[in-house]
Structure 1
């Protein structure tokens, strides 16, 4: 019975973590869209002010770098969650083995 209950707990935890991953992905997409909108607005400003060409181009480059950084951070978050899943599986399986060994020796 113990093993069966532990397996159920594991399955529930994995499902919860997968839901978290999906939520994070949804959050990441709006951020990228917002940055793209900002870039488009700057393009419109360029037509009005020809003198500020250089400054606005620099700003666009910075925003592109921010997008890349965010993408890198997102990948790290997903990797961390996968590592957490593995750790939890081990922490539940090993104590169970020690418990079963203890009960056998007591018998």
Structure 2
């Protein structure tokens, strides 16, 4: 995604070595890539006009919310410490402006 590309370019700059990327779309949501994936699959489900197709985005939501995000947050806290705590304090976790 675009947000991942921008983070990759930023991380390749040696002056950013060991620092947490909090710019671009990541300033609106700590896990903006997961949010984008969820919106993409929700859109696909809406196009199909089949109620059963919503099982996939619903499953994704629960896996992201209760498995992936907590695991990644623990990793980021261990790796970046106070920098991650400050970022977590000012940025929504998953859904921009809401959660």
TM-score range, shorter chain: 0.3 to 0.5
> Could you state the TM-score of these two structures normalised by the residue count of structure 1?
0.42
